[in-house]
Chains A and B, each alone.
Chain A
């Protein structure tokens, strides 16, 4: 008997660590801070072990498959087979989950203080279980295990979302999330069972081998179901509606994990099913993903701009970034179907790199949001302001994340967007006008959404950290976030900078799954430069952010030194000048809604804002003969919710009301239903002439 390979042993250890963490958290005293810390410590250990295992796999390249057939199912072709498998794609996602999970878990120690009286140990236990289910989803080698893990992930995340279940709003958001995830689960189930049944294999590897013989109609059906199911999990418009509800409701470390990692599992699903197993498809698949991605990018960023709640803002930015990733996947599918595997590899690389990058900066931003909303006691940015002086390190980390998500060099967000721009630019070599126009227009959409993201994050960073505090709570903040919380953010910030300056670190690890999927031998980038530069085939462009970072750093250093030299006059501090206004107060500042107003006005046809202005002659804080008190209120509408989901909900409710007549409460009626169902099933079996077991 051979020993299991190293990565598998490590994975086993990681799984054990997680499960010990789960047991400790859920079985120990719910209100014990110590138990919670033990549980988190084991989760932290799990991330380290799991990450190491994935690194071994990605660097050493030992693919392993381990399948378990439960007794009673003699044929290994039966669907109910449990197995885990680690190929480069799984390993990449294991690494992603572990790396980001490590930083978030580190921060969670500091975050627990907020939950002293709200069952910290339970939170920690479910948190560890959530990480474990995430890992299981991406490691599942068979359809059956994948589906189990997928549902478990949904349910565990639901428990985490409703952790603060005393609030009815949280309960409502949680239910909304659960229902939508359930519908998505049905779509995932459909797509995977179709694959398993028509290919006659329970494992992904087996399906991949049989995939080329599948009926194209079945494949397209699988594609549509997978897009619906995984797209919902990822937060693709118009399936994104749960995201801005669930993320703010959850504790911040959980939102970080959901937004940073869980929605990426949706991306994993698409990569696994559409790319790796089915190997791409007809042109319209790619066009569909590209168009949905572009729509998500714009809808996400436009809605984000209009938010005051920092966590809702971040949730909408997840929609935007998922849109960008889907644009990359769509472009890759288009190139694949047109027969340009190298370009497909380039686009896929851009998409996967953006998946990593978004995981890093989005969890960083969520942790920052947790830190400031914990300190200021509100998530509403209107009531923050001036926090940079009390929380300088949190401010620094948040601004690094803000710059990364805005796609600014020399940070990681820029690299993946650069690669994607290059992929769009390369459409010129396909020689088809339609492809050219479509992908160039996609480039325009990407540029616009990146620009607007910058706008949104100047607004958010400024509203939270700069100027004067706009509420007494914000004024009272006197100390920075706990050290563990800050260290988690520090890890993520450093990774954001590192992957910006030396993107090859990530690209090397992604490269293997990309070349496996697209069947291209050569990697899309070459080594060179000071810290490894990117150079694309056929001369289309080059990027060496290492050098640029050096020049930037040198320039800033020189400027700083010169700045420090003595001047004739001394520097001094005085009230803000503000064109000579009398001592400006925080009420004269630009608020986040004021900042966002121009965009609301420009895109009014999208937002369809309803505004309300009231002027009352008396009342308010300072009534006087010359002063009237005015109140202004502005609400934006959510066309995707109001135009699509609300009517859908109405229909479902109507249907439910009609079916509720069946619920007579009499036992005889229920028995009759049983019999009726049985008869219908038997008739169906007879009619379709099913083979039976």
Chain B
């Protein structure tokens, strides 16, 4: 391998980090805008999220008296886990230059690490609402874990691999046949997972500030300053990661197959796809009302079972 191609690979990875971390606040801004509009409000400007994060960056933190070192470190690890998950999904180039580091099961694991840390951090201040949000976030995550993993099994079954790049390449080679019945079932299951993992309606209302109904907001009540910045930004990054994964499997077209100038084109395509997906997800979210908390269990069960159904249909269609 020549030096230039190695530099290229490093460049691509840096570009991918910058892309995902950079676009995440924009995507959450877009979704908020869509939701505001559908409710007849003007809403925040779509770039408001960047200003919010910038404001938090300049603020000092207020620590609770009862807080330990966990308050300081857990947000760092939580955000770090999300960063480590970024290169596991091919964003610009296929196969992903960093794909050797791990597959989608690792992706699930890193997301779980991130959640573990935020849930632990929420307990540190010893506030009532922190505990409430922490337990809710953890059980919803735990119950959706089978659906998430089985979706990956279902996606991976046709290509016989759990690696994101291999799955995406297989999707491309299938062409239109990628839109098969098993894919429809697995994607339906994954949309459930995506909505729950990113705390959207009908699972959690990211816009609410009523303590008893919320999950994510309750966890961060006692956080401030740069720790809050990391948690809020991390939430946006998680949304980008999951949406990006869905797009990679469902619509992998437009990624560059080499390290050339086509990468620039790929950036435009990826940004367009992510924005489009955010608009669709935002519009979809307005169709739901908040679910009673314990109904979430039914959602998790349906998602798991749909993923299993997808797997049994894969058997029929033949691998």
Bound together, the chains give a CA A595 to CA B130 distance in angstroms of 11
Main secondary structure of the interface of A (DSSP, over half): helix
- Please measure, in the bound complex, the distance between the C-alpha atom of A689 and the C-alpha atom of B60, giving whole angstroms: 91
Q: Looking at A395, A443, A590, which has the most chain B CB atoms within 10 Å of its CB?
A: A590
The complex places the Cα of A559 from the Cα of B78 at a distance, in Å, of 11
Q: How far is the CB of A4 from chain B (nearest CB, A)?
A: 46
Is B311 positioned at the interface, with any CB of A under 8 Å from its CB?
A: yes
A542 in contact with B126 (CB, 8 Å): no
Give the nearest-CB partner of B224 in chain A. Answer: A577
A676 within 8 A of B: no
Beta-carbon nearest neighbor of B86 in chain A: A551
Does A433 contact B60, Cβ atoms closer than 8 Å? no
Are A540 and B124 closer than 8 Å at their CB atoms?
A: no
Whether the Cβ atoms of A569 and B109 lie closer than 8 Å is no
Is the beta-carbon distance between B160 and A539 smaller than 8 angstroms? yes
Interface residues of B in 153-167 (CB under 8 A from A): 153, 156-157, 160-163, 166
Q: Which of B127, B139, B149 contacts A455 (CB 8 A)?
A: B139
B134 at the interface (CB under 8 A from A): yes
The docked-state distance in angstroms from the alpha carbon of A602 to that of B300 is 12
Contacts of A552 in B (CB 8 A): 77, 80-81, 83-84
Complex Cα–Cα for A79 and B54 (A)? 78
Q: Of the 9-residue stretches B34-42, B45-53, B95-103, B250-258, which lies at the interface with chain A?
A: B95-103
Q: Which of A399, A443, A533, A559 contacts B100 (CB 8 A)?
A: A533
Q: Judging by beta carbons under 8 Å apart, are B162 and A541 in contact?
A: yes
| Chain A residues whose CB sits within 8 angstroms of the CB of B126 once the complex forms | 385-386, 466-468, 576, 584, 586, 588-589
The answer to whether the Cβ of A175 comes within 8 Å of any Cβ in the partner chain is no
Q: Out of A452, A555, A560, which one reaches B142, CB within 8 Å?
A: A452
- Beta-carbon contact of A567 and B225 below 8 Å: yes
What's the minimum C-beta distance from B139 to chain A, rounded to whole angstroms? 5
Q: Which of B1-9, B22-30, B112-120, B171-179 contacts A (4 or more CB under 8 A)?
A: B112-120
Q: Which residue of B lies closest to A426 (CB)?
A: B160
Cα–Cα distance between A454 and B226 once the two chains are bound (Å): 26
Do A543 and B127 form a contact, CB below 8 Å, given A388-B70, A448-B145, A459-B135? no
Q: What is the CB-to-nearest-CB distance from A7 to chain B, in angstroms, rounded to a whole number?
A: 37
Given A418-B106, A440-B308, CB of A573 within 8 Å of CB of B65: yes
Name the residue on A nearest B209 (C-beta).
A579
Interface string of A592-636 (1 = CB under 8 A from B): 001111110110000000000000000000000000000000000
Which chain A residues border B314 with CB–CB below 8 Å? 428
B79 within 8 A of A: yes
| Chain B residues bordering chain A, tally (CB within 8 A) | 85
B190: Cβ under 8 A from any A Cβ: no
Please state if B83 and A458 are interface contacts (CB–CB under 8 Å).
no
Known: A421-B105, A451-B141. A559 touches B80 (CB 8 A): yes
Chain A residues with Cβ below 8 Å from B70 are: 388, 399, 465-466
Chain A 491-532 interface 0/1 with B at a Cβ cutoff of 8 Å (1 = within): 000000000000000000000000000000000000011000
Partner of A544, one of B68, B101, B138, B153: B101
Q: Cβ of B125: which chain A residues have Cβ within 8 Å of it?
A: 467, 576-578
Given A408-B109, A578-B128, is A468 in contact with B145 using a C-beta cutoff of 8 Å? no
- CB neighbours of B68 from chain A (8 A): 386, 388-389, 392, 395, 465-466
Residues of B within 8 A of A601 (CB): 294
Q: Between A and B, how many residue pairs show CB distances below 8 Å?
A: 296
Among B58, B143, B225, the residue within 8 A (CB) of A451 is B143
Which residues on A are within 8 Å of B, measured CB to CB?
385-386, 388-389, 392, 395, 399, 403, 406-409, 414, 418, 421-422, 424-425, 428-429, 433, 436-437, 440-441, 443-445, 447-448, 450-452, 454-455, 457-459, 461-462, 465-468, 528-529, 533, 538-545, 547-548, 551-553, 555-556, 559-560, 562-563, 567-579, 581, 584, 586, 588-590, 594-599, 601-602
Further pairs besides A458-B116, A545-B106, A555-B84: 19, Cβ < 8 Å? A399-B70, A409-B110, A421-B105, A437-B312, A444-B150, A448-B143, A448-B145, A466-B68, A533-B101, A541-B103, A542-B163, A568-B60, A575-B64, A577-B125, A578-B125, A579-B211, A590-B123, A590-B131, A602-B143
Can you give 28 contacting A-B residue pairs, CB < 8 Å? A406-B112, A408-B112, A409-B106, A414-B109, A425-B156, A425-B162, A428-B157, A428-B315, A447-B149, A448-B143, A451-B112, A451-B143, A451-B144, A465-B68, A540-B160, A552-B83, A568-B58, A571-B225, A572-B63, A573-B64, A576-B67, A578-B222, A579-B129, A584-B128, A586-B126, A588-B126, A598-B136, A599-B139
